[in-house]
Structure 1
């Protein structure tokens, strides 16, 4: 191997070793919330006559967090495709995450779309035992009076983009305010010309 070939091989190896680190630099501190996601992606479920086309827990504003002790509301779009009405009566979650609260059973008429959580969230996970920043997934069991238990893995999404119209999750900490960067004045940019 010639001297130039050896230098090229070392440079190529260094570039390959640094590539993963350099790729992560552009993502910033909120890398998980900067990834595009869709709350309906991989969540459309049609089981036991219950069609869930959208499901998400609302997290904090981008750059903030839901603190320990806080709560995250559940939003669902559900169609009961059975011939008889059903009722969403419960939510099961791992107790290491928090406690599920269903404020009132949700009636699901036959063949009619019901938006759970709109206009007021009624199903929550309260007393969070770990902070949530958005981007996490939560395994739950939705309990229906007739259809029984429907397991789902539901994403926690940040309150950004099209979700800013939703009310903030209870107890969410505010996003940090960006520090303004000083800008040069016209005189400072061009300096004093002495004219």
Structure 2
């Protein structure tokens, strides 16, 4: 085989393997099929309300939130109107009932995060088990700006979301099963 033919075959093999190698470098808990960054994916501006971030906090990576459980809904909201507004209601389609203890005040030209110091929006009675990566339609009702609909993803409690409080009722990822040699070694070490 000629040197130029070998070089062409090596280049073709490298180009064919590059996408797979790039996916491996992203890590085991990354979502490579659906690129997503909650701070960039939403950035919705409508009715003088800007929503730069919105997500449901799901389970730890590899775990699940069981049907009937709860999950917080985190929103970053900016009221760009010259008068104050208020978030007075939130509903989801196909996920559960949103508990909003008190209306959320949105001063003019200020940002508000619904997760500090604790989540102010909690979805109760989940209609299905959540693993992370899902997306649900959310309808926000504002006193002045009216209704705003958006699709909100479920993110796993990992990477930059690991510091958020654990979700009650979450089911942890399954523990690795011991290999037969590890079980034999453990049994044999007691002698």
Q: Establish whether TM, by shorter chain, passes 0.5.
A: yes
For residue 67 of structure 1, give the secondary structure of its aligned residue in structure 2: coil
What's the counterpart of residue 129 of structure 1?
127
Q: In the TM superposition, what whole-angstrom CA distance separates every residue of 1:144-169 from its partner, at most 9, and x where no partner exists?
A: 11111110100000000011000012
| Matching of residue 154 in structure 1 with residue 152 in structure 2 | yes
Q: CA deviation at 1:46?
A: 0.8
Number of aligned residue pairs: 157
Q: Judge which range, 123-132 or 168-177, deviates more.
A: 168-177
Decide whether the 8 Å contact of 1:141 with 1:150 is kept in 2: yes
Decide whether the 8 Å contact of 1:75 with 1:118 is kept in 2: no
Decide whether the 8 Å contact of 1:50 with 1:82 is kept in 2: yes
Q: CA deviation at 1:117?
A: 1.5
TM-score calculated relative to the size of structure 1: 0.73
Distance in 1, matches of 2:88 and 2:101, equals: 10
What's the counterpart of residue 177 of structure 1?
175
Give ranges in structure 1 of 5+ residues lacking alignment: 1-18, 186-195
What's the counterpart of residue 3 of structure 1?
none
TM-score calculated relative to the size of structure 2: 0.74
Decide whether the 8 Å contact of 1:71 with 1:171 is kept in 2: yes
Aligned ranges for residues 1-195 of structure 1 at < 5 Å? 34-35=31-32, 36-94=35-93, 96-179=94-177, 182=182
Runs of 4+ in 1 over 4 A off after TM superposition: 179-182
Distance in 2, matches of 1:131 and 1:156, equals: 11
Give ranges in structure 2 of 5+ residues lacking alignment: 1-15, 186-191
For residue 160 of structure 2, give the secondary structure of its aligned residue in structure 1: helix
Which is higher, the Rg of structure 1 or of structure 2? 1
Measured on the aligned residues, the alpha-carbon RMSD in Å equals 2.5
Decide whether the 8 Å contact of 2:29 with 2:61 is kept in 1: no
